[in-house]
């Protein structure tokens, strides 16, 4: 990769970090299902970064975590955001090795579902110690472990992650129509034409 493309990726990573910081702090589109809350599009910057490269994905994920921290969210929410570094790294490494994953409907759905499961699994693992140490809001305990942690955090994260993935995927497809920006992504918008 030439120095121009490295600089371009660094600038895009910085812009995605800024988006990842701003969305949790100022987004008016939130779904609150006590005791959990979900901010629509809060994962979009992270998913787009995942489509670019593992390094950009990790950087943007850490930037998004900073956004939740600066936004004054409870520490459990900040740590849930930090846990996203794991699923984003796994996804970015997969896309680097299999850049055509997002092309077919079948592989796209499978990739999204596996990423959502990993995402939700790690967020549930973050919440469990807080739940059992009685350090969470009373709403968590009123609904019980299965509803509060498994359903709201686990299943809720799968749904939220899947929606944000498809928002990101649609943006990725639109941006990839430009030949220059298409070079930015490790995930490829189309297969190369066969040469004879």
- 71 touches 24 (CB < 8 A): yes
**Domain total for the chain?**
1
Question: So what's the pLDDT on residue 34?
Answer: 56
- For residue 193, being part of any structural domain is answered with no
The domain that contains 134 carries what CATH number? 1.10.1760.20
Give the domain range for residue 73: 3-182
Residues 177-188 have pLDDT tens digits of: 776 677 777 776
Is the bond preceding residue 35 a cis peptide, omega within 30 degrees? yes
Predicted confidence (pLDDT) at residue 38 exceeds the cutoff of 80: yes
Question: So what's the pLDDT on residue 192?
Answer: 65
- For residue 155, being part of any structural domain is answered with yes
Question: So what's the pLDDT on residue 193?
Answer: 67
Question: So what's the pLDDT on residue 125?
Answer: 96
- For residue 191, being part of any structural domain is answered with no
- For residue 141, being part of any structural domain is answered with yes
Which three-class secondary structure state does DSSP give residue 161? helix
> 82 or 175: whose pLDDT is higher?
82
- For residue 189, being part of any structural domain is answered with no
Residues 52-86 have pLDDT tens digits of: 999 999 999 999 999 888 888 889 989 999 999 99
Question: So what's the pLDDT on residue 194?
Answer: 56
Pairwise CA distance, residues 11 & 98, whole Å = 25
- For residue 23, being part of any structural domain is answered with yes
- For residue 8, being part of any structural domain is answered with yes
The burial of 191, by beta-carbon neighbours within 10 Å (0-12 exposed, 13-18 middle, 19 or more buried), is given as exposed
- For residue 194, being part of any structural domain is answered with no
Question: So what's the pLDDT on residue 58?
Answer: 97
Q: What is the mean pLDDT of residues 127-148?
A: 88
Q: How confident is the model at residue 1 (pLDDT cuts 50, 70, 90)?
A: low
**Terminal CA-to-CA distance of the chain, rounded, Å?**
26
Instruction: State if pTM tops 0.75.
Output: yes
């Amino acid at each position: 990769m030439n120095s121009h493309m490295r600089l371009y990726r660094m600038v895009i990573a910085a812009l995605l970090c800024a988006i990842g910081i701003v969305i949790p702090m100022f987004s008016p589109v939130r779904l609150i299902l006590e005791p959990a809350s979900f901010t629509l599009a809060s994962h979009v910057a992270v998913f787009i970064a995942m489509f670019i490269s593992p390094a950009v994905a990790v950087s943007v994920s850490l930037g998004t975590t900073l956004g939740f921290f600066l936004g004054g969210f409870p520490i459990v929410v900040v740590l849930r955001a930090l846990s996203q570094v794991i699923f984003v790294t796994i996804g970015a490494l997969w896309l680097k090795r299999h850049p055509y994953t997002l092309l077919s409907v079948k592989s796209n759905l499978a990739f999204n579902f596996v990423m959502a499961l990993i995402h939700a699994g790690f967020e549930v693992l973050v919440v469990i110690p807080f739940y059992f140490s009685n350090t969470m809001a009373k709403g968590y305990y009123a609904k019980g472990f299965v509803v509060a942690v498994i359903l709201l955090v686990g299943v809720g994260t799968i749904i939220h992650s899947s929606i944000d993935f498809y928002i990101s995927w649609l943006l990725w497809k639109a941006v990839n129509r430009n030949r220059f920006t298409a070079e930015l992504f490790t995930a490829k918008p189309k297969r190369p034409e066969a040469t004879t």
